[in-house]
Amino acid sequence: MSFKHLFSRALGAAPGRLHMAAHSHHLWPDASRDGQIECWDDAARLADRKWDKVMGEVWPAAQAEVAAEIGSARPDAIVFAANTHDFLIRIAAACPRQAWRPLRILTTDGEFHSARRQFRRWMETGEVALKIIPAEPFDTLGERFLTAAGCQPFDLILVSQLLFGSGRLFDDLAPLAKLASPDGPWVVVDGYHSFMAVEAPLPATIADRLFYLGGGYKYAMSGEGMGLLHAPPGFGPRPPITGWYAEFEDLTLAPGMIGYAPDAMRFMGATFDPSALYRFLAVRRMLAAEGLSTATISAHVAGLQARLLDAISVTPLASAELLNPLDGGPHARFLAFRSPQAAAWQEALMERQCVTDVRGDVLRIGLGLYHDAADVDRFAHLAKSL
C-alpha cells in the first residue's frame, strides 16, 4: 500500500531523489504546509489577538494530542519549546542538589548530541559529576543501567528510550520510575526516536514520576521548532530558568513577585514561534482522516524493513552487522548497519541521489509513510553497485 499522495509536494520537489532517511529529516506531508499557511493567516487576520487563539485553542489542542499519543493521559503535563535542548537546560537547573556539590548525573554513551555535549561540557566546568554507562552490549544495558542507578545516589538520570545510534529499545522504564522522586533523583526519558514511532511510550501508570522529551522533527512529520516535555506533577514547582510565559495565566501578580503556573507551564520560556504547533495539528488531522495511527504506520514500516533485509542479502550491505534485528516487537523506524564501509556506502549512495545517513561506522536507513515496495526494490538495486 502506498501513501505517497500525502507527500506529493515534497516528493515532487525532487523527483529523482530516493529519500531513505525518514528517521533523520522526515519529509513533510502536504498537510504540514496547510498548517503553516493557517498560522500565517491567523497572524494576518488576528494580529495582536492571535495569542488568544494560540494559547486558548492551538496550544491545548497540541497538548491533548501529545498526551494521547504518549499514553500519559495528562495534557496539563505537556509543555512546548523550540527544541529539547531548551528543556534539558531548564531541567538540570531545577533539579534538586546540595549547594556545595556538582549535579550528579547518570546516563549512557548512546545519548544524542545535545545531552552528550552539554553534560560533558558541564563536567569540564565542574558543575556536573557524570557517570556514563556503555550502551554495548545492548542486551545487558537495562540490567547494567538499573544496577548503576541503585548503587549510588544521583540527582538526575537520563536515558534514551530508543538509542539513536543503534536503534535499540530501552524498555526498563518502570524500575526507573520507582527510583524517581521530587526530591531526587529525577528521571528523564529522551523519547526523540520513540515519539510517534513507538506506541504509548509513556504509560499513565508511570507517567507521574518521569520526565519525557520529544519533538516534532522526526516521526511527527511536523518539522523544526516543536520540542516537547512531559513534566510530572510536583517535580520542580519553581524552575530557576524561567520566561514570562511561565506565569502567563496570572499577569495580575504584584510587582516583584515571581509566579509560576501550577502545571507544566512552569517550565515555559518566553515568546515563541507557534507555526510548528499548527503544522503538528494539521498532520495529526491528516493521520486521523486517513485512519493512520502509530501502530498502523509501524506495521507499514515493519513490512518494508523485512522486504529490505531480504532484498539486500545479495548486496555488499549483507556483510554489515545489523545492530537492531527485527524481532516482532516495537522497533525503531530505521535499520542500523555497522561496517567499516558505512561512510563510504553513504557517500556512494548520495552520489546516486539516495539519501541515508551515517553515525561513525553505522549506516542508518530510515523508512516511513512515503515509502513503498518499489522504493525498497530501487534501493536494493542501488546497493548492489556499492
Query: 73-77, 242-246, 321-325: which range is least confident on average?
Result: 242-246
Residue 36 has pLDDT above 80, yes or no: yes
Calculate mean pLDDT across residues 245-257: 70
* C-alpha to C-alpha distance for 112 and 227, rounded to whole angstroms: 14
Over residues 46-96, the pLDDT tens digits come to 999 999 999 999 999 999 999 999 999 999 999 999 999 999 999 999 999
* C-alpha to C-alpha distance for 85 and 119, rounded to whole angstroms: 11
State residue 248's pLDDT score.
65
State residue 251's pLDDT score.
57
Calculate mean pLDDT across residues 336-340: 98
* C-alpha to C-alpha distance for 39 and 36, rounded to whole angstroms: 5
Cβ atoms of 376 and 311 within 8 Å: the answer is yes
State residue 252's pLDDT score.
59
Residue in this structure with the C-alpha cell 486558548, named with its chain if needed: 56
Taking the whole predicted model, whether its pTM rises above 0.75 is answered as: yes
* C-alpha to C-alpha distance for 175 and 92, rounded to whole angstroms: 22
Calculate mean pLDDT across residues 20-26: 96
Domains of the chain: 4-28+293-383 (3.90.1150.10), 33-285 (3.40.640.10)
- Residue 82, C-beta contacts closer than 8 angstroms, at least 6 positions apart: 225, 227, 272, 273
Helix or strand or coil: residue 309? helix
Cβ atoms of 111 and 160 within 8 Å: the answer is yes
Calculate mean pLDDT across residues 202-231: 98
Burial 117-144 (b: 16+ CB within 10 A, else e): ebbeebbeeeebeeebbebeebeebbee
Residue 172 has pLDDT above 60, yes or no: yes
Residue in this structure with the C-alpha cell 507557534, named with its chain if needed: 274
State residue 250's pLDDT score.
59
User: What DSSP letter does each residue of 30-72 carry, written as one string?
Assistant: HHHHHHHHHHHHHHHHHGGGHHHHIIIIIHHHHHHHHHHHHT-
Strands 321-322 and 334-338, how do they pair? antiparallel
Residue 114 has pLDDT above 70, yes or no: yes
**pLDDT band at residue 259, thresholds of 50, 70 and 90?**
confident
